[in-house]
């Protein structure tokens, strides 16, 4: 019996041992499977999804901050600063942090000061903040002054940060604003020189790469790439002449209530532009009262019929075509002349037979019309074209107008052809006329215009015989000589020999091509005539009041600007 019981107990122990072994093996197998699964997942994450996960992690923690480069400065020909980048601050917000810290409520007094200094509406700001509440970055204000930036920094508002940046400052303000232009909020040029030379002026930004923790604190600086500042530009403009010309133009615009006044001065020998003025203008440092029409540089965008300022070129065309000589006398029977139903009028009675000098000096429309009728139209138009009239200059500035010359027109009636002689039927910009008169002063050699200060002498192109040009220059000088009866004596400058021509042209009224009752008045000329160095063109658009002739309005302005320029440049008076 005992043996039997012992046998049963051994059997039970054996079965129990088998069960325990089986359970242990099951547990081990399960643990092994779990371990294998974990190991497989780790391997999958490390080997297959690792790059993607690293990238996601970097997106959360890595930051690349752009380091802005200063834009190149702009100088006048003498090194006077015209445009420069100055330090500024950009205010940014971290909406998520502002909400998590309940900063708007806890720091209400400081937020009120914040809104006040930046002239922000609190409700609009909070609305924008709510729209971006899960974001970590939002622009608040850009290019604020360093003083404003320091004030905001002292407020110590949670979620408000300052970034270093720069903004453009223009020391000359409105005096040269249309020429220099402006930059946008991103620092790139939008108008004028700023746009034309944007690539040259714009530097290459640097960058700073760093890592942040979950609280937005920098925990690791990774890399730093230095920025490269933009290159400077030196213009041909003489800021002293530009300032004098602008102040005079602005005063004349106010005095005569005219639409605009344009002044262009060119160095005769080089083609460098010394002054390029258009009034009204604007202050690029204050864009709160911004009016787009004031940005237009009307000396390059607006075309005008030149009136009698074209007469030197009419005479040149007649001389070159051999239909007249300096000794030719033109029959002018009276102050009026009827031609094909149209009447041409002179402002004063001419000699019955007048020389070319008298025609230019006393500005005879009849004499100029007869010269135009005797000269092939193509020769007149090509003469004007050769001097750069009726086509864009080489400056390639935005908005520059080409003018009208009608070179392809084949059929000309007698009236239209006669009017070419005294500046009707063609139209030019002030800068084109300045280029043409500079070529006259350069004895028939046309130079390209330049807005940059030139280091080397330019080689121009001769377009007409020097002998003919010198003859016309003598006539032009006589026009400012009151003793000889010159009609442009108000353009004279005491102590200097001046050669100039005025032009008074009716303005086309409406789209029907008819002339109205308004005028554009011009004066174009050279100084000193003993050795011409400066070419100056003045255009006054639609002067109001009783004084509307060029000799009354534009000529005195010409005299004032030319006198200032001659003195500024220390050009000695003529001995004779």
pLDDT of the residue at 331: 95
Domain assignment present for 29: no
From the CB of residue 67, how many other CB atoms can be counted at a distance below 10 Å? 14
Per-residue pLDDT band at 50 (split at 50, 70, 90): low
Residues 165 and 139 occupy one common structural domain: yes
Q: What is the pLDDT of residues 9-18, one digit of tens each?
A: 566 655 556 6
Residues 159 and 266 occupy one common structural domain: no
Domain assignment present for 55: no
Q: What percent of the chain stands above pLDDT 70?
A: 89
Residues 140 and 250 occupy one common structural domain: no
Domain assignment present for 7: no
Q: What is the pLDDT of residues 115-160, one digit of tens each?
A: 898 889 888 888 888 888 888 888 888 888 888 889 988 888 888 8
Residues 257 and 228 occupy one common structural domain: no
Residues 152 and 258 occupy one common structural domain: no
Range scoring the smallest mean pLDDT among 305-309, 412-416, 482-486: 482-486
Residues 185 and 258 occupy one common structural domain: no
Catalytic residue among 260, 308, 418, 450: 308
Handedness of CA 45, 49, 51, 52 (dihedral sign): negative
Higher-confidence position of 266 and 18: 266
Distances, alpha carbon 456 to alpha carbons 75, 204, 271, 440, 548, in Å: 18, 30, 12, 21, 42
Higher-confidence position of 9 and 395: 395
Residues 214 and 165 occupy one common structural domain: yes
Domain assignment present for 186: yes
Domain assignment present for 15: no
Question: Above 90 in pLDDT, residue 302?
Answer: yes
Interior angle at CA 391, CA 264 and CA 344, nearest 5: 80
Range scoring the smallest mean pLDDT among 351-355, 505-509, 552-556: 505-509
Question: Above 80 in pLDDT, residue 271?
Answer: yes
Residues 409 and 490 occupy one common structural domain: yes
Domain assignment present for 120: yes
Residues 224 and 334 occupy one common structural domain: no
> What SS3 class is residue 332?
coil
Residues 277 and 259 occupy one common structural domain: yes
Q: What is the CATH number of the domain that holds 119?
A: 3.90.1310.10
Domain assignment present for 36: no
Residues 218 and 264 occupy one common structural domain: no
From the CB of residue 31, how many other CB atoms can be counted at a distance below 10 Å? 10
Residues 347 and 435 occupy one common structural domain: yes
Distances, alpha carbon 371 to alpha carbons 163, 313, 323, 329, 558, in Å: 69, 11, 8, 11, 28
Among this protein's residues, is 11 annotated catalytic? no
Tally of domains in the chain: 2
Single residue among 234, 249, 268 that ends a domain in this structure: 234
Residues of the domain holding 457: 239-282+297-568
Domain assignment present for 433: yes
Q: What is the CATH number of the domain that holds 363?
A: 3.40.710.10
DSSP state, 110? H
């Amino acid at each position: 019996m005992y043996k039997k019981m012992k046998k049963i107990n051994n059997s039970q122990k054996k079965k129990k041992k088998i069960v325990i072994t089986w359970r242990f093996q099951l547990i081990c197998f399960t643990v092994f499977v779990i371990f294998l699964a974990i190991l497989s997942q780790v391997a999958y994450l490390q080997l297959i999804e690792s790059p993607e996960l690293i990238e996601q992690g970097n997106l959360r923690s890595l930051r690349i901050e752009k380091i802005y480069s200063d834009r190149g400065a702009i100088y006048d020909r003498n090194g006077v600063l015209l445009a420069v980048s100055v330090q500024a601050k950009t205010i940014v917000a971290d909406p998520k942090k502002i909400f998590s810290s309940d900063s708007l409520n806890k720091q209400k007094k400081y937020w009120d000061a914040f809104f006040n200094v930046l002239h922000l509406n609190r409700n609009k700001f909070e609305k924008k903040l709510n729209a971006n509440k899960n974001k970590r970055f939002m622009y608040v204000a850009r290019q604020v002054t360093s003083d404003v930036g320091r004030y905001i920094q002292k407020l110590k508002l949670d979620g408000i940060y300052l970034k270093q940046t720069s903004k453009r400052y223009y020391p000359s303000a409105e005096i040269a604003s249309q020429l220099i232009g402006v930059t946008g909020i991103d620092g790139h040029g939008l108008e004028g020189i700023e746009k034309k030379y944007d690539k040259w002026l714009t530097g290459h930004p640097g960058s700073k790469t760093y890592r942040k923790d979950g609280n937005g604190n920098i925990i690791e600086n990774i890399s730093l790439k230095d920025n490269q500042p933009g290159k400077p530009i030196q213009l041909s403009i003489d800021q002293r002449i530009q300032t004098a010309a602008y102040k005079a133009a602005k005063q004349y615009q106010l005095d005569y209530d005219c639409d605009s006044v344009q002044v262009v001065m060119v160095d005769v020998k080089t083609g460098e532009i010394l002054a390029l003025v258009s009034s009204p203008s604007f202050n690029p440092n204050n864009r709160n009262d911004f009016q787009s029409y004031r940005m237009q540089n009307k000396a390059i965008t607006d075309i005008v019929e030149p009136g009698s300022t074209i007469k030197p070129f009419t005479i040149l065309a007649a001389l070159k075509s051999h239909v007249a000589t300096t000794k030719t006398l033109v029959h002018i029977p009276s102050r009026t002349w009827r031609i094909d139903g149209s009447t041409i009028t002179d402002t004063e009675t001419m000699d019955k037979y007048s020389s070319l000098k008298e025609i230019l000096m006393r500005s005879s429309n009849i004499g100029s019309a007869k010269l135009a009728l005797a000269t092939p139209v193509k020769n007149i138009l090509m003469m004007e074209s050769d001097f750069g009239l009726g086509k864009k200059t080489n400056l390639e500035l935005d908005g520059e107008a080409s003018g009208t010359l009608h070179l392809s027109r084949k059929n000309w009636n007698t009236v239209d052809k006669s009017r070419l002689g005294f500046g009707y039927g063609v139209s030019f910009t002030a800068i084109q006329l300045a280029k043409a008169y500079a070529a006259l002063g350069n004895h028939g050699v046309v130079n390209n215009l330049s807005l940059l200060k030139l280091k080397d002498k330019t080689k121009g192109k001769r377009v007409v015989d020097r002998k003919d040009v010198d003859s016309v220059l003598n006539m032009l000088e006589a026009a400012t000589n009151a003793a000889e009866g010159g009609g442009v004596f108000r353009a004279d400058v005491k102590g200097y020999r001046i050669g100039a021509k005025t032009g008074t042209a009716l303005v086309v009224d409406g789209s029907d091509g008819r002339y109205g009752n308004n005028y554009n008045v011009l004066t174009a000329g050279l100084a000193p005539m003993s050795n011409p160095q400066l070419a100056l063109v003045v255009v006054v658009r639609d002067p109001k009041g009783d004084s509307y002739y060029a000799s009354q309005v534009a000529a005195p302005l010409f005299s004032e600007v030319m006198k200032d320029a001659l003195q500024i440049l220390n050009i000695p008076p003529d001995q004779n």
